Amino acid sequence: MNPKFDTIFYHLGIASHYEDYAGCHQDIPDEVRQRCLELMQGPLSDDPDAVDRLFFDLDVAPWLCVLPAFSVIQNNRVHFYLPETHAYTQLSWALERQGEKQREGRCEVDTLNCTGDYLYGNTRYLRLELPLDGVPIGYYRLWLSLDDENTVFGEIALCPSKCFQKDQSSRLLGITTQLYTLRLTSNFGLGDFGDLTALIRLAAVWGVDVIGLNPLMALDWRDPNAKSPYAPSDRRFLNPIYLDLTRVVEDLGCGDSIDLDTLKQSAPVRSMVNSDRVDWRGVAEIKYRVLADVFAAFNQRHDANTDAFAAFSDSASPELHQFCDFEASHNPFGQRYSSNPQFHAFLQWLSHCQLEACQSFAKASGLRVGLMGDMPVGATGGGHEVSSARALFVEGVDIGAPPDPFSDTGQNWGMPPINPARLRSTSYEHFLSLIRSAMHGVGALRLDHAMWLARIWWSFKDVNGETVGTYVYQDAEALLSLLALESHLNECQIVAEDLGVVPDSFRDLMRQFGLLGNSLWYFETDDQNSLLPPESHRGDAVMMITNHDVPTLVSWWCGRDIELRLAFGLIDEQSSMQQREERARQREQARSLLVAKGVLSQVDDLNDLRAITRAIIALSALGESPWVFLQLEDLFEVEEPVNVPGTYLEYDNWTRKLPMVADLETWSKEWAFWFQDWSVYRAR
């Protein structure tokens, strides 16, 4: 193999090995790495000079450019490049923001630190460091002038050392929910922003500080099976299905022309409301039809709302206009307005307004953080995000995970990865648009599978058609620096989901950049897979007792999750037997731990799942985690999971609702049972 390939693999992040979930070393065969390279860059074998050109572009060219087009800056130190033989003596610099000069300075070139060098041909190139001390964080254009004769410019992002951390050392109480599962109001068969408002009222009474939500991003409605919040059409735009129609009609004054009360009594709506499953397309069809009528009435008037929408449209990003064009071409809902891009912009405006209103209401109600959003790790291959940026995403590859205890065959999430080299070459514009959108209308943001900021598993076919895979690495420090910058600009705290196989080096980076990790109660174990006592829980991670990807407490305690994985072929009979034995051991060890910590009586019936759930909640409240989250499924004592990872159509994922609540006041008082231990937790 050409020796230059190792350097190419390094620059493109194509791994040579990894440690699996059991800590065993796994080598990636050269032919798998070669195939990965071809998928990223195109065939190289047809052109004998292609490898040399690629090596030059990746390894040499950056040293020959005085100032990169875009630089991510930590510690207020900017790097630029000069040949060692240069004759420059003076360097002048100036910073601009939106065309206005912010700072400027001048120095002697020979006083600058050299932080690296590269020999190319007969010339040595130097990497020099220009200090910009005292410059506030933000985005700037940097001008460099060498002896007033060679002037260059580049865009820079001056980043803080850590993410926004207002409440990360506080002991906060949280609840998590899949919004569409809520049944707290007279909705249309799917939990919406009206239900979220009702939940915020309850949370304020319970003393909750933050409500964690599922991703609320737009789905690709061309797919008849579209429903997973973690497989959106585009991570930058909201799903109008979450709109509270009652509030839309009231806020826009359309009550005279739109009769929601009669619609709610219709057979289709009553059927969807009473069902224990969400009919995503059925709800979308009805809601879009109502919203089309609202849009028609809205266009007949001129008031403060129409001015606000006009301002929203005028200031919208090109990506929003492209998304609305995409929806107009592909979204089947909305009747006569389905093909009108302005209609879809109207829905985005309404969705932004209602999400912002929910966050404002949460803060006004006393929730210290308010809402916590969730950003998926990818988007569907046929949706708008990928189709609008084909050159950025890699075709023929799906992201996922290598084999682990949850799946003997690994996981394929059915979404294409971003090409790290192309993301860098486009000044990280797509990444920035993702995190800015995700931070809108929330006080905190959870990053699903945050390891993708450093590496992610690529699954693809080799030349023989066999499924193979490898990890591909990103420039984690650059991405985390930009994340830190945007978190400050948006005053948004960051929680990074770091479950599964996570190298210590990435958790070191998380701590360095001030990201809270994300623990799960029954994943907090020692080397013998025994549950950790609360005082050994991570102090730099939020504690979620369960989440959407793992069994509920009731399901875990009963071992129902093992039976489901066996039934769907995710594990074989031998693995299931081993897991049942291990679960029985963990259950007994959990009982001993709960008794030892005084949260469960020796005589409590171990089949009393309500007592067990309360004891586990109380135990978690004794731990070191700064934030603790309870999932509503556990408070409702639900056994059925909302999602079984590794399944697609085999299990009806993302449709199961929570039990219906008829009397909010009575229900809220009953739930005080779950929250009475939290006052002790908060005081610790």
Which tens digits make up the pLDDT trace of 378-402? 999 999 999 999 999 999 999 998 8
Residue at 388 is within a domain: no
Residue 141 belongs to a domain with what CATH number? Answer: 2.60.40
Residue 32 binned pLDDT confidence (cut-offs 50, 70, 90)? very high
Of 460, 479, 499, whose CA–CA distance to 645 is shortest?
A: 499
* Confidence (pTM): 0.95
Share of the chain above pLDDT 90, in %: 76
188: pLDDT strictly greater than 90: yes
- pLDDT, residue 46, reads 67
Residue at 231 is within a domain: yes
Q: Does residue 235 sit in the same domain as residue 330? A: yes
Return d(Cα 248, Cα 241) in angstroms, integer.
Answer: 12
Q: Give Cα 216 to chain centroid, integer Å.
A: 11
Q: Does residue 352 sit in the same domain as residue 214? A: yes
Domain stop point among 322, 343, 367: 367
pLDDT, tens digit, for every residue of 129-152? 999 999 999 999 999 999 988 999
Tokens 């409590």, residue located: 604
**Eight-state DSSP code of residue 658:** P
Residue at 613 is within a domain: no
Q: Does residue 225 sit in the same domain as residue 353? A: yes
For 386-413, give the secondary structure using H, E and C. HHCCCCCECCCCEEEECCECCECCCEEC
pLDDT, tens digit, for every residue of 57-69? 999 999 999 999 9
661: pLDDT strictly greater than 60: yes
Highest-confidence range of 389-393, 526-530, 617-621, by mean pLDDT?
389-393
pLDDT, tens digit, for every residue of 341-377? 999 999 999 999 999 999 999 999 999 999 999 999 9
684: pLDDT strictly greater than 60: no
Residue at 114 is within a domain: yes
Q: Check if the beta carbon of residue 236 is closer than 8 Å to that of residue 433.
A: yes
Return d(Cα 341, Cα 325) in angstroms, integer.
Answer: 5
Q: Which residues contact 514 (CB under 8 A, 6 or more apart)?
A: 161, 162, 163, 164, 165, 168, 484, 494
Residue 83 binned pLDDT confidence (cut-offs 50, 70, 90)? very high
pLDDT, tens digit, for every residue of 93-124? 999 998 888 999 999 999 999 999 999 999 99
Residue 599 binned pLDDT confidence (cut-offs 50, 70, 90)? confident
Structure tokens at 501: 């196989």
Q: What is the extent of the structural domain holding 88?
A: 75-158
Residue 301: exposed, middle, or buried by beta-carbon count in 10 A (0-12, 13-18, 19+)?
Answer: exposed
- Other C-beta atoms closer than 10 Å to the C-beta of 521 total 25
| Residue 286 DSSP SS3 | helix
Residue at 619 is within a domain: no
Segment 409-413 shows an average pLDDT of: 79
Q: Does residue 213 sit in the same domain as residue 153? A: no
Please report how many Cα atoms fall inside a 13 Å half-sphere around the Cα of residue 635, on the Cβ side.
21
Segment 182-210 shows an average pLDDT of: 95
Domain stop point among 367, 394, 412: 367
Residue at 625 is within a domain: no
Q: Does residue 135 sit in the same domain as residue 251? A: no
Q: Does residue 338 sit in the same domain as residue 217? A: yes
Angle at CA of residue 645, ends 487 and 20, nearest 5°: 80
Return d(Cα 152, Cα 157) in angstroms, integer.
Answer: 17
| Residue 334 DSSP SS3 | coil
Q: Which residue type does 150 have? A: N
Highest-confidence range of 167-171, 317-321, 647-651, by mean pLDDT?
317-321
Residue at 9 is within a domain: no
Q: Does residue 149 sit in the same domain as residue 257? A: no
For 578-615, give the secondary structure using H, E and C. HHHHHHHHHHHHHHHHHHHCCCCCCCCCCCCHHHHHHH
- pLDDT, residue 161, reads 96
DSSP for 21-80, written as a single string: TTS-EEEPPHHHHHHHHHHHH---TT-TTHHHHHHIIIIIHHHHSSS-SEEEESTTEEEE
- pLDDT, residue 584, reads 92
Segment 584-613 shows an average pLDDT of: 85
| Average pLDDT of the residues of the chain | 92
Residue 171 binned pLDDT confidence (cut-offs 50, 70, 90)? confident
Q: Does residue 148 sit in the same domain as residue 280? A: no
Q: Does residue 299 sit in the same domain as residue 154? A: no
- pLDDT, residue 669, reads 78
- pLDDT, residue 639, reads 93
620: pLDDT strictly greater than 70: yes
Q: Does residue 248 sit in the same domain as residue 330? A: yes
Q: Which residues contact 576 (CB under 8 A, 6 or more apart)?
A: 562, 563, 565, 566
Q: Does residue 125 sit in the same domain as residue 252? A: no
- pLDDT, residue 657, reads 97
Domain stop point among 346, 367, 388: 367
pLDDT, tens digit, for every residue of 422-456? 999 999 999 999 999 999 999 999 999 999 999 99
Q: Domain tally for the chain?
A: 2
Segment 276-281 shows an average pLDDT of: 97
- pLDDT, residue 320, reads 97
Q: Does residue 260 sit in the same domain as residue 343? A: yes
- pLDDT, residue 1, reads 66
Segment 156-178 shows an average pLDDT of: 92
Segment 632-657 shows an average pLDDT of: 91
Residue at 110 is within a domain: yes
